[in-house]
Amino acid sequence: MRDPKYADDTSLIRLIINELVKIHEISYDDAIDLFYTSSLSNQIADEKTGLFTYAAGDLARMIKFNKKIEL
C-alpha cells in the first residue's frame, strides 16, 4: 500500500511543474528538468522547511528566482 504522504508530494510536484511550464513558456520535459535541478526539489519533502504548505505557483516562482529556504 502506498504511503499517502508521497501521493501528496507527487501531486504538488505535478502542480509546480505545470506552473513552471506557464511561467517560463517551456515544454513539460524542460520544466521537469528545471524542477529536479532546483534546490527546492530536495527541500520539498523535508517537513522542517514547511514548503509543502506553499501554493504551487509560489513554489514555481521561487524556482524561477532560484530561491533557497534557509533553516
**52 exposure class (CB count in 10 Å sphere: 0-12, 13-18, 19+):** middle
pTM: 0.78
Count the neighbouring beta carbons within 10 Å of the beta carbon of residue 58. 14
| DSSP 8-state class, residue 18 | H
As a whole number of angstroms, the distance between CA 55 and CA 53 comes to 7
Q: Is the pLDDT of residue 31 over 90?
A: yes
pLDDT at residue 1 in the model: 42
Task: Please report the pLDDT score of residue 17 as a whole number.
Answer: 95
Sign of CA dihedral 23, 29, 30, 34: positive
- pLDDT tier at 28 (50, 70, 90 boundaries)? very high
Phi, psi angles (nearest 5°) of residue 64: -60, -40
pLDDT of residue 22: 94
